[in-house]
Amino acid sequence: MFSKVLSAAIDGARCVPVSVEVDASNGLPAFLMVGDLSYQVKEAQERVRTAIRNSGMTIPPKRVTVNLAPADVRKDGNHFDLPIAASLMIAFGFLEAEKFDGVMLAGELGLNGRINGVRGILPFVETAYKKGCRLCIVPKQNYREARMIGQISVLGVESLQEFLSCARKENWGLLEDTKEEPVLLPAKKEEIEDFADIQGQEYVKRAAVIAAAGMHNFLMTGPKGTGKTMIARRIPGILPEPTKEELLEVSKIYSISGLLSEEKPFLLSRPFRAPHHTISPAALAGGGKYPKAGEITLAHKGVLFLDEFPEFSHECIELLRQPLEERKILISRSGGSYLFPADFMLVAAMNHCPCGQFPDLNRCSCTFQEVKRYQNRISGPILDRIDIVAEVSGISYQELTGKRKEKSSKNFRKEVEMAVKVQGERYQEKKIRFNSQLSGKLLEEFCNVSAEGQRILEKAYKKMRLSARAYHKILKTARTIADLEQEEEIKEAHISEALCYRRVEGKDT
């Protein structure tokens, strides 16, 4: 007796279709599972057999072999319980095999037959749709998440008995017509702090708006207590509205990481990740024997905020080089290579010295060597990859206690959206959306600099000894500044402002 049903395995940041095959033959009773399985998957045999028995069915004593193919893909997680149980019941005649053509299953079984929720349902359902399946069977707890894909029928079940009852009906594949586009209204956006709460700091706010408009990497430097963290935490409120494709891409990553819930089955805004400076390199980049997404990948299409930037370990800071340049991170292990997306906007904040008082020499207790050593923790190659560096200085008593009404995030957001609209129209035939994504070839095509702007650029390139990467960063930033002012040509003023946001090799001493 042979049977086969379809499921999927999580492999890094993607899903791979998996055939769950069962062969039941005469011989000494045994239950064997093969196919490069983790301990979590191997334990499914006890959960499945007990759940089937407690659901009112008896499995005859046979030699049962369960194979999860292909064998060269690692199988991990708890979602193979339901497909194994379904394949067993087909092999022993409890269900008809024909009814499972074009059906993909996932779910964890409790010993009482209850079907519990699992992670990774969003990419699981997308994989089923791309493979041409007509129906996905998922735990009831994951139903709302599974529905977010649309375009494929989804059936949510709470128990093995409910699953059997549905599968035995003639039209069970048409029980619910769920192919229409999902409604996102039940989930609510999180409250985001407002720029109106910050007094003064107009220069830094302007830099933040430019960074948000072009999704540029942004570093704030300055003495302690000047508002660097406050500004960073308000940047999500002015970021460009993500597209549905971007939200789906990020939500799949969060689904695989187990960060979605029944109440929040889909992300409605760009992610904002702010790991502590004690984070390990593996947690930041993703790692382990079988790598999972790290903070860099969880910030995909959003913001990765690194507060107290020099306090992060040298390994953590330097591993940012590849993802900042290539917008992806490749992790290689003995078992294979795993590619994770990492298209994020880096926002960082740092003091000038360990005590946080420099350059106020009356209050700073650090020696010249300590200040230099502290600043040199951020290497030249990392600084070269940062588009905008803004100095955050202290504000006066009058600014702090004044009653002047500051511009709100809503007003800044309008400026950003206006610039994003310009970029969208300009790059509609390209595979990019923001100025920060411009390659060298596209810079020549879309960055038309005036004669006076070219003169300033040439002078700055020679005097500041800029690298080719830094030169391109200045052009990209100037392009965004021009877009904010609705100018097609990059003019002298745009180049001059972009140059003000460059920090040469991090030298403040």
Domain segments of the chain: what residues?
2-174, 199-429
Indicate the range of 167-181, 355-369, 418-432, 485-499 predicted with least confidence: 167-181
As a CATH number, domain 2-174 is 3.30.230.10
pLDDT computed for residue 182 by the predictor? 54
Burial 178-206 (b: 16+ CB within 10 A, else e): beeebeeeebeeeeeebbeebbbbeebbb
Host H or E run for residue 116: strand 115-116
Per residue in 325-352, pLDDT (tens digit) is 999 998 887 767 888 999 999 999 999 9
Q: What is the CA radius of gyration of the chain?
A: 28
pLDDT at 509 over 70: no
pLDDT at 142 over 80: yes
CA neighbor of 194 nearest in space, from 224, 242, 236: 236
Per the rule left: phi > 0, alpha: psi between -120 and 50, beta: everything else, 35 is left
Name residue 235's amino acid. Answer: I
CB 209 within 8 A of CB 412: yes
- Quickly state the pLDDT bin for 320 (edges 50, 70, 90): very high
pLDDT computed for residue 381 by the predictor? 92
pLDDT at 88 over 70: yes
- Quickly state the pLDDT bin for 446 (edges 50, 70, 90): very high
CA distances from 476 to 215, 264, 450 (A): 10, 36, 15
How far apart CA 376 and CA 322 sit, in angstroms, is 20
Q: 3-state DSSP call for residue 476? A: helix
- Quickly state the pLDDT bin for 491 (edges 50, 70, 90): very high
Beta bridge partners of 394: none
Q: Which percentage of the chain shows pLDDT scores above 70? A: 94
Per residue in 170-196, pLDDT (tens digit) is 666 554 544 455 544 444 445 678 898
**What are the φ and ψ backbone dihedral angles of 267, each rounded to 5 degrees?**
-80, 135
Question: Strands 218-221 and 272-273, how do they pair?
Answer: unpaired
More confidently predicted of 160 and 169: 160
pLDDT computed for residue 175 by the predictor? 46
pLDDT computed for residue 402 by the predictor? 72
pLDDT computed for residue 28 by the predictor? 86
Residues 6+ apart with CB under 8 A from 299: 271, 272, 273, 342, 344, 345
Length of the chain: 509
**What are the φ and ψ backbone dihedral angles of 229, each rounded to 5 degrees?**
-65, -40
Tokens of 498: 């972009």
pLDDT computed for residue 186 by the predictor? 42
How far apart CA 9 and CA 77 sit, in angstroms, is 8
| For residues 90-108, average pLDDT | 91
How far apart CA 153 and CA 180 sit, in angstroms, is 9
As a CATH number, domain 199-429 is 3.40.50.300
| For residues 241-248, average pLDDT | 92
Indicate the range of 70-74, 274-278, 332-336 predicted with least confidence: 332-336
Identify the sign of the CA torsion 23, 27, 29, 33. negative
- Quickly state the pLDDT bin for 149 (edges 50, 70, 90): confident
Look-up of token digits 């206006």: 418
Host H or E run for residue 498: helix 492-500
Per residue in 352-397, pLDDT (tens digit) is 999 988 888 888 889 999 999 999 999 999 999 999 999 998 887 7
CA distances from 309 to 277, 299, 470, 488 (A): 7, 17, 20, 36
CA distances from 392 to 7, 202, 237, 326 (A): 53, 10, 20, 29
Q: What is the largest CA-CA distance in the chain?
A: 89
DSSP class of residue 91 equals H
Whole-model pTM?
Answer: 0.89
pLDDT computed for residue 504 by the predictor? 54
pLDDT computed for residue 111 by the predictor? 93
Mean pLDDT for all residues in the chain: 89
| For residues 298-304, average pLDDT | 96
Chain centre to alpha carbon of residue 261? 16
CA distances from 382 to 84, 303, 316, 416, 474 (A): 49, 17, 11, 26, 15
